[in-house]
């Protein structure tokens, strides 16, 4: 089995140009659609049309729902309802390639959760031109929320460990070459690509000068608020090193400032994780995870909306404590904002692996095949697994889509008698028992589960 310390998905950075659409993506879409026997549509919140949730054309809109289709009993939530309804919001990040597969993915999460989970389409301004980013967000009608993140932390390579900003990104977003950012101009850039939840810049906060860093972030946030027009909404956008959550002194200073700044009802907070974390694995640092928990609890206690981009399953866990939104993507960088390190050259073959929902963990294909061969194994009913297991060769794209679908779908495991905290606690404890009963070793062991269980 190839070395799993790095893979090509993690070597792609936010400022890399989106790759050209693969020739087989249309065929893959057709193949996936062919395994779906029913077609369902949900009405848009503004009543202007319907989104096809399943079957051929899933993820696209129709002005009028054709006769004979199943009409969902739930609509696609509007922005404000998605942010304040108390239901989870799943942020899907614009991938560096295969982005045309995302509209169906968003629709599949809404359909599988029966509308319990709303979705957001999130792009990064330095990732592409206005035309490319607008086109992708417009292609995602199942997304209630649209975000265009400025990635202001790219101006702070001495605070967070990031790759050098490319000339292409500087050409698209000249503010990345300036010492300060014009908040009003930045808000307007986000408007231009179709964002309906606007962000402050997201500059990284320097833990060596904590009060100065916090003052600057909130002052910039106030400038962005002043630039809003009628019916627009802003989230305070912060980028933190892990010490802001794991160090008690820094954490208390951050939380105190967040409480004092009542003008920000939505927080969009990104925390950088260590580079040694394996692709698609979850952090196990108890101090960091306890800090996340306290942040989520603070948001819940104070009636704030907390969004945690690039957190994957770790972000999902925070729903139990009070977070509203969590983000993931088709590749590893969408699941984790990790410290940049110079690893391999991208020539290492990608490991064949599969996300096991009952383990809340990704395992090597051989482990999955052994589990799947047992008569008591419950086979996945996502839109991607029939095609994945029907193909003679392992399809990494389908395996990634399966995982991303499940990361979103897990937000909808609630019921009237089982609210989100109880549902997540039970899911984690069930996964612990499942893992204890499997002969797992090495990277297949879900080492995060005992830590999660402790937090819950």
| Angle, helix 183-192 to helix 210-226, in steps of 10 degrees | 60
- The reply to whether 19 and 167 lie within a common domain is yes
Q: Give the tokens for residue 18.
A: 């989106």
Q: What is the mean pLDDT of the chain?
A: 90
Please choose, from the candidates 177, 173, 127, 171, the residue with its C-alpha nearest in 3D space to the C-alpha of residue 157: 177
Element (H, E) at 232: none
Residues 6+ apart with CB under 8 A from 374: none
183-203 confidence digits (pLDDT tens)? 999 999 999 999 999 999 999
Please choose, from the candidates 87, 16, 3, the residue with its C-alpha nearest in 3D space to the C-alpha of residue 334: 16
Confidence of residue 5 (pLDDT cuts 50, 70, 90): very low
315-369 confidence digits (pLDDT tens)? 999 999 999 999 999 999 899 999 998 765 556 788 999 999 999 999 999 999 9
Are 165 and 251 spatial neighbours (Cβ–Cβ below 8 Å)? no
228-244 confidence digits (pLDDT tens)? 999 999 999 999 999 99
Average pLDDT for residues 46-66, to the nearest whole number?
A: 86
Are 142 and 53 spatial neighbours (Cβ–Cβ below 8 Å)? yes
Residue 276 belongs to some domain of the structure: yes
Residue 431 belongs to some domain of the structure: yes
Confidence of residue 39 (pLDDT cuts 50, 70, 90): confident
Element (H, E) at 254: helix 248-260
The range of the structural domain enclosing residue 448 comes to 353-455
- The reply to whether 54 and 139 lie within a common domain is yes
Last residue in a domain, options 335, 361, 392 = 335
271-290 confidence digits (pLDDT tens)? 999 999 998 999 999 999 99
Residue 345 belongs to some domain of the structure: no
Residue 292 to residue 85: CA distance in whole angstroms: 22
Domains identified in the chain, total number: 2
The reported pTM is: 0.93
Q: Give the tokens for residue 363.
A: 């395992």
- The reply to whether 315 and 371 lie within a common domain is no
Model confidence at 16: pLDDT above 50: no
- The reply to whether 323 and 360 lie within a common domain is no
Model confidence at 59: pLDDT above 50: yes
Residue 23 belongs to some domain of the structure: yes
- The reply to whether 318 and 448 lie within a common domain is no
248-267 confidence digits (pLDDT tens)? 999 999 999 999 999 999 99
Model confidence at 9: pLDDT above 60: no
- The reply to whether 363 and 427 lie within a common domain is yes
Residue 346 belongs to some domain of the structure: no
Last residue in a domain, options 277, 304, 335 = 335
Model confidence at 37: pLDDT above 50: no
Are 204 and 241 spatial neighbours (Cβ–Cβ below 8 Å)? yes
**What pLDDT shows up at residue 94?**
94
Confidence of residue 376 (pLDDT cuts 50, 70, 90): very high
Over pLDDT 70: what percentage of the chain? Answer: 91
Q: Which residues pair with 43 in a beta bridge?
A: 50
- The reply to whether 316 and 389 lie within a common domain is no
Q: Give the tokens for residue 89.
A: 């919001």
**What pLDDT shows up at residue 350?**
87
- The reply to whether 41 and 99 lie within a common domain is yes
122-162 confidence digits (pLDDT tens)? 999 999 999 999 999 999 999 999 999 999 999 999 999 99
Confidence of residue 67 (pLDDT cuts 50, 70, 90): confident
Q: What is the DSSP string of 85-115?
A: SSS-EEEEEPPSS-GGGHHHHHHHHHHHTTT
Average pLDDT for residues 94-99, to the nearest whole number?
A: 90
- The reply to whether 290 and 369 lie within a common domain is no
CATH code of 179's domain: 3.20.20
Are 306 and 296 spatial neighbours (Cβ–Cβ below 8 Å)? yes
Residue 347 belongs to some domain of the structure: no
């Amino acid at each position: 089995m190839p070395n799993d310390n790095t893979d090509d998905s993690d070597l792609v950075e936010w400022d890399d140009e989106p790759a050209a659409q693969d020739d087989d993506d249309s065929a893959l879409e057709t193949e996936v659609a062919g395994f779906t026997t029913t077609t369902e549509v949900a009405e848009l919140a503004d009543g202007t049309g319907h989104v096809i949730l399943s079957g051929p054309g899933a993820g696209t809109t129709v002005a009028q729902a054709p006769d004979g289709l199943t009409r969902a009993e739930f609509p696609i939530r509007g922005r404000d309802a998605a942010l304040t309804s108390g239901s989870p919001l799943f942020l899907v990040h614009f991938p560096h390639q295969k982005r045309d597969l995302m509209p169906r993915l968003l629709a599949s999460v809404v359909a599988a959760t029966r509308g319990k989970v709303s979705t957001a389409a999130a792009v990064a301004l330095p990732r592409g031109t206005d035309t490319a980013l607008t086109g992708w967000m417009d292609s995602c009608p199942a997304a209630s929320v649209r975000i265009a993140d400025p990635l202001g932390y790219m101006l702070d390579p001495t605070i967070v460990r990031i790759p050098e900003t490319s000339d292409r990104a500087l050409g698209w977003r000249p503010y990345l070459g300036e010492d300060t950012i014009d908040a009003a101009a930045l808000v307007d850039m986000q408007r231009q690509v179709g964002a309906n939840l606007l962000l402050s810049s997201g500059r990284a906060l320097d833990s060596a000068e904590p009060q100065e860093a916090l003052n600057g972030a909130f002052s910039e946030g106030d400038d962005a608020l002043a630039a809003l027009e009628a019916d627009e909404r802003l989230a305070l956008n912060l980028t933190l090193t892990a010490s802001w959550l794991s160090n008690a002194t820094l954490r208390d200073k951050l939380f105190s400032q967040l409480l004092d700044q009542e003008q920000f009802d939505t927080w969009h907070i990104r925390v950088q994780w260590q580079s040694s974390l394996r692709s698609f694995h979850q952090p196990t640092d108890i101090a960091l995870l306890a800090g996340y928990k306290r942040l989520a609890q603070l948001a819940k206690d104070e009636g704030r909306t907390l969004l945690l981009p690039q957190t994957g399953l770790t972000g999902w866990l925070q729903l139990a404590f009070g977070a509203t939104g969590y983000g993931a993507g088709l590749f590893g960088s969408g699941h984790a904002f990790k410290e940049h390190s110079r690893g391999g050259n991208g020539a290492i073959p990608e490991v064949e692996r599969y996300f096991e929902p009952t383990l809340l963990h990704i395992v090597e294909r051989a482990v999955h095949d052994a589990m799947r061969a047992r008569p008591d194994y419950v086979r996945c009913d996502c839109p991607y697994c029939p095609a994945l297991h029907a193909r003679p060769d392992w399809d990494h794209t389908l395996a990634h889509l399966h995982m991303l679908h499940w990361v979103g779908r897990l937000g909808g495991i609630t019921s009237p008698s089982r609210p989100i905290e109880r549902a997540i606690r039970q899911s984690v404890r069930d996964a612990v028992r499942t893992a204890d009963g499997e002969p797992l070793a090495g990277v297949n062991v879900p080492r995060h589960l005992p830590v999660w269980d402790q937090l819950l």
